[in-house]
Amino acid sequence: MTTNTGSASSCISAASGGEAKFVTSSFRLRVVGTDGRYVYATDDCGIRRVDPGTGAVTSLTTTGNYASVAIAGQYLYTVNQAYGGLTRIDLVTGSSVVLDPNITGAVAADLQNV
C-alpha cells in the first residue's frame, strides 16, 4: 500500500496491498475502526476497507469528507461533512442508505447501537 498526494482519480483498490494506493492531498489517511475482520480507513478516496491478512483494499464510498465514522455490528455509520447527511453502509452487502440528509456533526456507536 502506498500513499500519495495526487488527485482522487489516483485512488486504486486492489486485491493485494502492494497495488493499493491511498490519496492524501486533501485529507489525512485515518483509521476509523474495525469490525473484527477488516480495518476501515478514510482518505481522499472515501471510506476504504482493508483486509489485514491480504492487504486487499476496497473502496466503499468514492467521494466526500468522512470526518465522523462509527461501526455498530454489521453497519458502518458516517456523517459526510462535504455533502451532509447520516449514511448507513451494510458491511456484509455493501449497500448504503442515507438515513437523514440533514444531519451534520459527529456519530458515535458501540457494538450494536448508534
d(CA 91, CA 77): 10
- Note the pLDDT of residue 9: 56
Cβ within 8 Å of residue 75, ≥6 positions away: 88, 89, 90, 91, 114
Could you tell me which residues are beta bridge partners of residue 109? none
Amino acid at site 91: L
pLDDT surpasses 60 at 8: no
Mean pLDDT of the chain: 82
End-to-end, the C-alpha distance of the chain in Å comes to: 31
CA 64 to mean position of chain CA atoms: 10
pLDDT digits (tens, 9 = 90+) for 16-60: 767 778 888 887 888 889 989 999 998 888 899 999 998 889 888
Q: Is 18 left (phi over 0), alpha (psi -120 to 50) or beta?
A: alpha
* 99, 107 contact by CB (below 8 A): no
- Note the pLDDT of residue 17: 67
Which sign does the torsion angle of CA 21, 33, 29, 104 carry? Answer: positive
- Note the pLDDT of residue 93: 92
d(CA 16, CA 100): 35
Ordered domains of the chain (ranges, CATH): 2-100 (2.40.10.480)
